[in-house]
Structure 1
Amino acid sequence: MRQNLQNGVRLRPVDLARGHGLSTQAVRNYEEAGVLPAAGRTPHGYRIYTSLHAGALDAFLALVPGHGHQAATSIMRAVNQGALEEAFGLIDEGHAQLLDDRRTLQAVEGALRDLGPAAIPGPGSGSGSGGTFIGPLAGRLGIRPATLRKWERAGLVSPRRDPRTGYRVYSEADVRDALLAHQLRRGGYLLEQIAPLIAQVRAAGGLEPLEAALRDWRGRLSARGRALLAGAAELEGYLRERG
């Protein structure tokens, strides 16, 4: 919208809202949140917006797909407060998170490569004499034991019970399933999406069921990368306009 406006053109809240497919209340909310710089006022107290506010809204809406609503709000608030180093730091965090997620995907792919057909348990298998307990496994994954119990109820892991103590005992296959579930959760997958994947891997003796999920994951990471670039371009335009 900004490119169609001249500096100094006055916009009503409804003009700014319609130009961005928003409600006037949303525009007011964004101003109150610091996404937009403070609006001028008429003698009667009505808000006056300009091309600068349109540029701020353009930048914010472009930042959201890559950074998320909360981070995009924090970035714009920092910019409008003149705290550019804080804004740039938040942007850096978004790129660092994307890089971390890419490494997570690579770790998942590495874990899958280690799951050869002979190592994949069939239904009811994986209860050998060795194993690890819930506390050490939760610590290894950096999660709470309650999370592992939740995964068990969802069918992601199937530990056996020690006949003497009743404690859960996780075999090597269970540990691999837990690691795979943990990595997929970090990739944004829900338990109900992960459970059938793991079940199919066990039953089919192969990793083909995960190939589509991994392709989708890679595609979403690429989309986020492009969204980060688009958001940065819009923000740079807004920074130039602010002077």
Structure 2
Amino acid sequence: MRPIDLAREHGLSAQAIRNYDEAGILPPADRSDSGYRQYTAVHAQAVRAFLALRAGHGHQQAAEIMRAVNTGDTDLAYRLIDATHVALLTERGTRAEVATALNSLSTTDPAPIPGRPLTIGELARRLGVHPATLRTWETHGILRPRRGRGTGYREYDPAGVRDAEIAAQLRRGGYPLHRAAQFLEVLREAGGATALTAFLDAWQQRLTARSRHLVSGAAQLDAYLTLLDRP
């Protein structure tokens, strides 16, 4: 088989196949008398396995898995696969914690605070906490106040006040600092508590899709390993 024969099934270029070969993603290929690579059904399955693995593990991790298999280090390949599953399980846990935290909130996005930003003392009084508490939250990444020009004092704009009020609710609900920080980070990425529900739904869909990709990748890799085991 020629590079183009392997490439055609996946809509790739012959150069992509040669790149995979040089990267160790494919097993060593024999050469013809004229020096051209000669591929077999084993190489075709290697391409299928790599592309399936790439969808779930990412390009770099999938390439490392294939290189480990092709050099006979299957233990390393399995450990790389396990690492991805552990990371995905951790991400699932993070998403579940954020969803639980969202359900514990008694309000959605607080109303904007008119006028100038609040000082740390004003925000502390608003929340009924000590200013040192707000500084502790800042140390843990829960709050990210800006500094006033000229004064260098902490200033809390409406988004900062929102974060502080949500953090106060989470803390009253018994959430430790690191989990409150985790929730606020996701909240900022989503664009607010109102948008967070849609964000969580999309996040769950991504997790589900990635799990399916990992299953598909494992099936294609198993087929490749089966071919390698044959005499």
Interval containing the TM-score (normalised by the shorter chain) = 0.7 to 0.9
- Residue 52 of structure 1 aligns with which residue? 42
The one-letter amino acid of 2:206's match is R
The one-letter amino acid of 1:102's match is R
Deviation by residue 1:154-192 (Cα, 9 ceiling, x = unmatched): xxxx6686x97513566632747964341357xxxxx4x
Residue 80 of structure 2: SS of its match in structure 1? helix
8 Å CA contact 2:24–2:66 kept in 1: the answer is: yes
Which residue, out of 205, 208, 214, partners 1:222? 208
The sequence identity of aligned pairs, in percent, is 42
1:183 aligns with 2:186: yes
- Residue 124 of structure 1 aligns with which residue? 113
What TM-score do the two structures reach when normalised by structure 2?
0.75
CA distance in 2, matches of 1:94, 1:128: 42
Residue 20 of structure 1: SS of its match in structure 2? coil
Which residue, out of 16, 22, 42, partners 1:26? 16
Which residue, out of 69, 80, 96, partners 1:106? 96
Q: In the superposition, relative to structure 1, how do residues 100 and 49 fare at CA in structure 2: closer, same or farther (>3 Å)?
A: same
CA distance in 2, matches of 1:180, 1:71: 28
- Residue 7 of structure 1 aligns with which residue? none
The one-letter amino acid of 1:140's match is H
CA distance in 1, matches of 2:67, 2:138: 38
8 Å CA contact 2:105–2:166 kept in 1: the answer is: no
The one-letter amino acid of 1:30's match is Y
The one-letter amino acid of 2:95's match is L
Deviation by residue 1:101-137 (Cα, 9 ceiling, x = unmatched): 10010111122122212x8532128823344688744
- Residue 140 of structure 2 aligns with which residue? 140
In structure 2, list runs of 5 or more residues that go unmatched.
169-179
What TM-score do the two structures reach when normalised by structure 1?
0.72
Q: Figure out how many residues of one structure are paired with residues of the other and give that number.
A: 202
Q: In the superposition, relative to structure 1, how do residues 178 and 57 fare at CA in structure 2: closer, same or farther (>3 Å)?
A: same
The alignment yields a C-alpha RMSD, in angstroms, of 3.1
In structure 1, list runs of 5 or more residues that go unmatched.
1-10, 143-147, 150-157, 186-190, 202-206
Q: In the superposition, relative to structure 1, how do residues 134 and 57 fare at CA in structure 2: closer, same or farther (>3 Å)?
A: farther
Q: In the superposition, relative to structure 1, how do residues 179 and 94 fare at CA in structure 2: closer, same or farther (>3 Å)?
A: closer
8 Å CA contact 2:146–2:154 kept in 1: the answer is: no
Q: In the superposition, relative to structure 1, how do residues 241 and 178 fare at CA in structure 2: closer, same or farther (>3 Å)?
A: same
